[in-house]
Structure 1
Amino acid sequence: MKKVTQLILSGALVIGIFPFTGNTSQAAVTSFKDVPTSHWAKASIDAAVAKGYFKGYSDGTFKPGATVTRAEFAALLARVAKGTPDTEQTNVFKDLTGHWSEAEVNRAVSFGFLKSSDYPNGFKPGTALTREEMAKWLSSG
Protein backbone atom coordinates (compact mmCIF):
# COMPACT_ATOMS: atom_id res chain seq x y z
CA MET A 1 0.00 0.00 0.00
CA LYS A 2 2.89 2.34 0.74
CA LYS A 3 4.19 2.04 -2.84
CA VAL A 4 0.75 2.78 -4.27
CA THR A 5 0.44 5.85 -2.06
CA GLN A 6 3.90 7.03 -3.11
CA LEU A 7 3.01 6.50 -6.75
CA ILE A 8 -0.21 8.49 -6.42
CA LEU A 9 1.53 11.28 -4.53
CA SER A 10 4.28 11.38 -7.13
CA GLY A 11 1.68 11.64 -9.87
CA ALA A 12 -0.11 14.40 -7.99
CA LEU A 13 3.17 16.26 -7.70
CA VAL A 14 3.69 15.95 -11.44
CA ILE A 15 0.19 17.25 -12.06
CA GLY A 16 0.73 20.21 -9.75
CA ILE A 17 4.14 21.18 -10.99
CA PHE A 18 4.16 20.40 -14.69
CA PRO A 19 1.16 21.34 -16.80
CA PHE A 20 2.05 20.65 -20.41
CA THR A 21 1.03 19.91 -23.95
CA GLY A 22 2.61 18.42 -26.98
CA ASN A 23 0.98 21.09 -29.11
CA THR A 24 4.09 22.82 -30.36
CA SER A 25 6.65 22.61 -33.09
CA GLN A 26 9.38 24.17 -30.98
CA ALA A 27 12.50 22.26 -30.06
CA ALA A 28 13.27 21.75 -26.37
CA VAL A 29 12.53 25.32 -25.31
CA THR A 30 13.48 26.15 -21.76
CA SER A 31 12.55 29.82 -21.84
CA PHE A 32 8.81 30.24 -21.48
CA LYS A 33 7.43 33.77 -21.23
CA ASP A 34 5.19 32.77 -18.30
CA VAL A 35 7.95 31.01 -16.30
CA PRO A 36 10.28 33.72 -15.00
CA THR A 37 13.75 32.93 -13.67
CA SER A 38 12.38 33.41 -10.16
CA HIS A 39 9.61 30.79 -10.57
CA TRP A 40 9.91 28.10 -7.89
CA ALA A 41 9.67 25.24 -10.41
CA LYS A 42 11.78 26.72 -13.25
CA ALA A 43 14.73 24.33 -12.82
CA SER A 44 12.41 21.30 -12.78
CA ILE A 45 10.47 22.56 -15.78
CA ASP A 46 13.70 23.15 -17.70
CA ALA A 47 14.99 19.66 -16.84
CA ALA A 48 11.74 17.98 -17.90
CA VAL A 49 11.61 19.95 -21.15
CA ALA A 50 15.24 19.10 -21.90
CA LYS A 51 14.38 15.39 -21.53
CA GLY A 52 11.46 15.79 -23.94
CA TYR A 53 8.72 15.08 -21.39
CA PHE A 54 7.06 18.48 -21.89
CA LYS A 55 7.01 20.82 -24.85
CA GLY A 56 4.94 23.81 -23.81
CA TYR A 57 2.35 25.61 -25.89
CA SER A 58 2.85 26.93 -29.43
CA ASP A 59 2.54 30.52 -28.18
CA GLY A 60 5.73 30.15 -26.11
CA THR A 61 4.00 29.61 -22.78
CA PHE A 62 4.09 26.73 -20.32
CA LYS A 63 1.03 27.61 -18.20
CA PRO A 64 2.39 26.24 -14.91
CA GLY A 65 -0.90 26.86 -13.10
CA ALA A 66 -3.24 25.41 -15.73
CA THR A 67 -5.43 22.34 -15.41
CA VAL A 68 -3.97 19.21 -17.06
CA THR A 69 -6.09 17.52 -19.72
CA ARG A 70 -6.43 13.84 -20.54
CA ALA A 71 -4.47 14.36 -23.76
CA GLU A 72 -1.63 16.13 -21.95
CA PHE A 73 -1.22 13.48 -19.27
CA ALA A 74 -1.46 10.63 -21.78
CA ALA A 75 1.24 12.36 -23.83
CA LEU A 76 3.46 12.63 -20.75
CA LEU A 77 3.03 8.93 -19.97
CA ALA A 78 3.80 7.99 -23.58
CA ARG A 79 6.94 10.15 -23.54
CA VAL A 80 8.35 8.81 -20.29
CA ALA A 81 7.56 5.15 -21.05
CA LYS A 82 10.65 3.16 -21.89
CA GLY A 83 10.88 0.41 -24.47
CA THR A 84 8.47 -0.67 -27.12
CA PRO A 85 4.97 -1.96 -26.41
CA ASP A 86 4.19 -5.54 -27.43
CA THR A 87 1.48 -4.33 -29.79
CA GLU A 88 1.20 -0.83 -31.28
CA GLN A 89 -2.37 0.45 -31.08
CA THR A 90 -3.65 2.82 -33.76
CA ASN A 91 -6.92 4.68 -34.27
CA VAL A 92 -8.00 3.82 -30.73
CA PHE A 93 -10.33 6.78 -30.31
CA LYS A 94 -12.26 8.25 -33.24
CA ASP A 95 -12.43 11.66 -31.57
CA LEU A 96 -8.61 11.90 -31.70
CA THR A 97 -8.27 11.68 -35.48
CA GLY A 98 -5.98 14.55 -36.45
CA HIS A 99 -5.57 15.75 -32.86
CA TRP A 100 -2.02 16.71 -31.79
CA SER A 101 -2.05 13.96 -29.14
CA GLU A 102 -3.36 11.10 -31.30
CA ALA A 103 -0.07 9.17 -31.64
CA GLU A 104 0.89 9.66 -28.00
CA VAL A 105 -2.53 8.60 -26.68
CA ASN A 106 -2.36 5.51 -28.91
CA ARG A 107 1.10 4.79 -27.45
CA ALA A 108 -0.20 5.23 -23.88
CA VAL A 109 -2.97 2.72 -24.69
CA SER A 110 -0.35 0.38 -26.19
CA PHE A 111 1.61 0.47 -22.92
CA GLY A 112 -1.57 -0.24 -20.94
CA PHE A 113 -1.78 3.09 -19.11
CA LEU A 114 -5.38 3.51 -20.20
CA LYS A 115 -8.05 1.35 -21.77
CA SER A 116 -10.30 2.34 -24.62
CA SER A 117 -13.14 0.46 -22.94
CA ASP A 118 -13.06 3.05 -20.13
CA TYR A 119 -14.08 5.71 -22.67
CA PRO A 120 -16.96 4.24 -24.73
CA ASN A 121 -18.20 7.73 -25.72
CA GLY A 122 -14.78 8.91 -26.91
CA PHE A 123 -11.60 10.05 -25.20
CA LYS A 124 -12.52 13.74 -25.13
CA PRO A 125 -8.88 14.89 -25.06
CA GLY A 126 -9.59 18.42 -23.79
CA THR A 127 -11.36 17.16 -20.67
CA ALA A 128 -9.57 17.92 -17.40
CA LEU A 129 -7.81 14.88 -15.98
CA THR A 130 -9.29 13.69 -12.69
CA ARG A 131 -7.21 12.42 -9.80
CA GLU A 132 -8.97 9.08 -10.14
CA GLU A 133 -7.93 8.82 -13.81
CA MET A 134 -4.37 9.81 -12.96
CA ALA A 135 -4.11 7.17 -10.23
CA LYS A 136 -5.65 4.50 -12.44
CA TRP A 137 -3.40 5.28 -15.41
CA LEU A 138 -0.26 5.37 -13.27
CA SER A 139 -1.07 2.05 -11.64
CA SER A 140 -2.06 0.38 -14.92
CA GLY A 141 0.95 1.13 -17.11
Structure 2
Amino acid sequence: RGVYVIWRRSAPYPSFTNFDAPDRGACVINRSRTNTPLQALTLLNDPAYVEIGVGLAKRLATKGLNSDMTDRERIAYAFRLCVARAAKPVEVDHLTKVFEQELKYFQDHPQAAQKLIAADDRPEGVGASRMAAWLYVANILLNLDETITKG
Protein backbone atom coordinates (compact mmCIF):
# COMPACT_ATOMS: atom_id res chain seq x y z
CA ARG A 1 0.00 0.00 0.00
CA GLY A 2 3.00 2.27 0.14
CA VAL A 3 4.38 2.04 -3.38
CA TYR A 4 4.63 5.81 -3.87
CA VAL A 5 5.74 6.77 -0.38
CA ILE A 6 8.97 8.73 -0.04
CA TRP A 7 11.39 6.66 2.01
CA ARG A 8 13.58 8.58 4.45
CA ARG A 9 16.08 6.60 6.49
CA SER A 10 16.09 9.11 9.32
CA ALA A 11 12.28 9.28 9.57
CA PRO A 12 10.59 6.14 8.21
CA TYR A 13 6.92 6.21 7.31
CA PRO A 14 5.04 5.16 10.50
CA SER A 15 2.83 2.69 8.68
CA PHE A 16 5.89 0.83 7.41
CA THR A 17 7.39 0.71 10.89
CA ASN A 18 4.16 -0.50 12.50
CA PHE A 19 3.80 -3.30 9.95
CA ASP A 20 7.36 -4.60 10.23
CA ALA A 21 8.75 -3.30 6.96
CA PRO A 22 12.48 -3.95 6.56
CA ASP A 23 14.76 -0.93 6.82
CA ARG A 24 16.20 -1.36 3.29
CA GLY A 25 19.70 -1.67 4.74
CA ALA A 26 19.92 -5.34 3.82
CA CYS A 27 18.03 -7.91 1.78
CA VAL A 28 15.28 -9.62 3.78
CA ILE A 29 13.84 -12.90 2.57
CA ASN A 30 11.10 -13.40 5.16
CA ARG A 31 9.51 -10.49 6.98
CA SER A 32 8.69 -10.90 10.62
CA ARG A 33 5.03 -10.58 11.56
CA THR A 34 3.70 -9.04 14.71
CA ASN A 35 0.31 -7.96 15.90
CA THR A 36 0.29 -4.81 18.02
CA PRO A 37 -2.29 -2.18 19.03
CA LEU A 38 -0.32 0.38 16.99
CA GLN A 39 -1.28 -1.50 13.84
CA ALA A 40 -4.98 -1.14 14.63
CA LEU A 41 -4.55 2.57 15.36
CA THR A 42 -2.66 3.02 12.10
CA LEU A 43 -5.39 1.27 10.12
CA LEU A 44 -8.07 3.47 11.65
CA ASN A 45 -6.30 6.84 11.68
CA ASP A 46 -3.56 7.03 9.05
CA PRO A 47 -4.71 9.39 6.27
CA ALA A 48 -3.77 6.84 3.61
CA TYR A 49 -6.05 4.19 5.13
CA VAL A 50 -8.89 6.68 5.64
CA GLU A 51 -8.59 7.57 1.95
CA ILE A 52 -8.62 3.88 1.02
CA GLY A 53 -11.78 3.40 3.10
CA VAL A 54 -13.50 6.34 1.44
CA GLY A 55 -12.53 4.98 -1.98
CA LEU A 56 -13.99 1.56 -1.19
CA ALA A 57 -17.13 3.17 0.25
CA LYS A 58 -17.62 5.18 -2.97
CA ARG A 59 -17.17 2.05 -5.02
CA LEU A 60 -19.76 0.19 -2.96
CA ALA A 61 -22.24 3.05 -2.85
CA THR A 62 -22.21 3.43 -6.64
CA LYS A 63 -21.92 -0.25 -7.59
CA GLY A 64 -25.06 -1.23 -9.47
CA LEU A 65 -26.68 2.13 -8.72
CA ASN A 66 -28.78 1.95 -11.89
CA SER A 67 -29.65 -1.72 -11.46
CA ASP A 68 -31.51 -3.78 -8.90
CA MET A 69 -28.38 -4.64 -6.89
CA THR A 70 -29.20 -4.99 -3.20
CA ASP A 71 -27.09 -3.87 -0.27
CA ARG A 72 -26.45 -7.54 0.59
CA GLU A 73 -25.06 -8.10 -2.90
CA ARG A 74 -22.84 -5.02 -2.54
CA ILE A 75 -21.55 -6.37 0.78
CA ALA A 76 -20.80 -9.77 -0.76
CA TYR A 77 -19.00 -7.96 -3.60
CA ALA A 78 -16.98 -5.89 -1.11
CA PHE A 79 -16.04 -9.00 0.83
CA ARG A 80 -14.71 -10.64 -2.33
CA LEU A 81 -12.75 -7.50 -3.20
CA CYS A 82 -11.10 -7.32 0.23
CA VAL A 83 -10.39 -10.94 1.13
CA ALA A 84 -10.53 -12.66 -2.29
CA ARG A 85 -13.10 -15.24 -1.26
CA ALA A 86 -16.84 -15.51 -1.13
CA ALA A 87 -18.41 -14.37 2.12
CA LYS A 88 -20.24 -16.85 4.32
CA PRO A 89 -23.93 -16.05 4.83
CA VAL A 90 -23.33 -15.25 8.51
CA GLU A 91 -20.64 -12.71 7.51
CA VAL A 92 -22.98 -11.02 5.03
CA ASP A 93 -25.76 -11.03 7.64
CA HIS A 94 -23.52 -9.36 10.21
CA LEU A 95 -22.22 -6.69 7.82
CA THR A 96 -25.75 -6.02 6.54
CA LYS A 97 -26.92 -5.49 10.11
CA VAL A 98 -24.01 -3.09 10.75
CA PHE A 99 -24.78 -1.21 7.54
CA GLU A 100 -28.47 -0.86 8.42
CA GLN A 101 -27.72 0.28 11.98
CA GLU A 102 -25.22 2.89 10.79
CA LEU A 103 -27.54 4.06 8.02
CA LYS A 104 -30.34 4.58 10.53
CA TYR A 105 -27.99 6.44 12.87
CA PHE A 106 -26.74 8.75 10.12
CA GLN A 107 -30.27 9.35 8.82
CA ASP A 108 -31.24 10.41 12.35
CA HIS A 109 -28.05 12.52 12.68
CA PRO A 110 -27.37 14.02 9.22
CA GLN A 111 -24.84 16.49 10.64
CA ALA A 112 -22.64 13.58 11.76
CA ALA A 113 -22.73 12.09 8.25
CA GLN A 114 -21.84 15.43 6.66
CA LYS A 115 -18.99 15.87 9.12
CA LEU A 116 -17.66 12.38 8.41
CA ILE A 117 -17.95 12.50 4.62
CA ALA A 118 -16.69 15.61 2.83
CA ALA A 119 -18.88 16.97 0.03
CA ASP A 120 -16.18 16.06 -2.52
CA ASP A 121 -16.33 12.44 -1.42
CA ARG A 122 -20.06 12.05 -2.04
CA PRO A 123 -20.86 10.59 -5.46
CA GLU A 124 -23.81 12.02 -7.33
CA GLY A 125 -27.02 10.24 -6.38
CA VAL A 126 -25.68 8.98 -3.05
CA GLY A 127 -26.57 10.83 0.13
CA ALA A 128 -24.17 11.57 2.95
CA SER A 129 -25.93 9.09 5.24
CA ARG A 130 -25.49 6.17 2.84
CA MET A 131 -21.87 7.11 2.15
CA ALA A 132 -21.11 7.29 5.87
CA ALA A 133 -22.71 3.87 6.45
CA TRP A 134 -20.71 2.39 3.57
CA LEU A 135 -17.56 3.90 5.07
CA TYR A 136 -18.21 1.95 8.28
CA VAL A 137 -18.57 -1.29 6.32
CA ALA A 138 -15.44 -0.50 4.30
CA ASN A 139 -13.44 0.15 7.47
CA ILE A 140 -14.56 -3.16 8.96
CA LEU A 141 -13.54 -5.06 5.85
CA LEU A 142 -10.22 -3.26 5.46
CA ASN A 143 -9.32 -3.92 9.09
CA LEU A 144 -9.94 -7.64 9.05
CA ASP A 145 -6.90 -9.75 9.90
CA GLU A 146 -7.66 -11.73 6.76
CA THR A 147 -7.39 -8.57 4.67
CA ILE A 148 -4.19 -7.26 6.27
CA THR A 149 -1.98 -10.28 6.88
CA LYS A 150 -3.32 -13.24 4.97
CA GLY A 151 -3.70 -11.74 1.49
The structure having more radius of gyration, on CA atoms, is 2
Normalising to structure 2: TM-score of the pair? 0.25
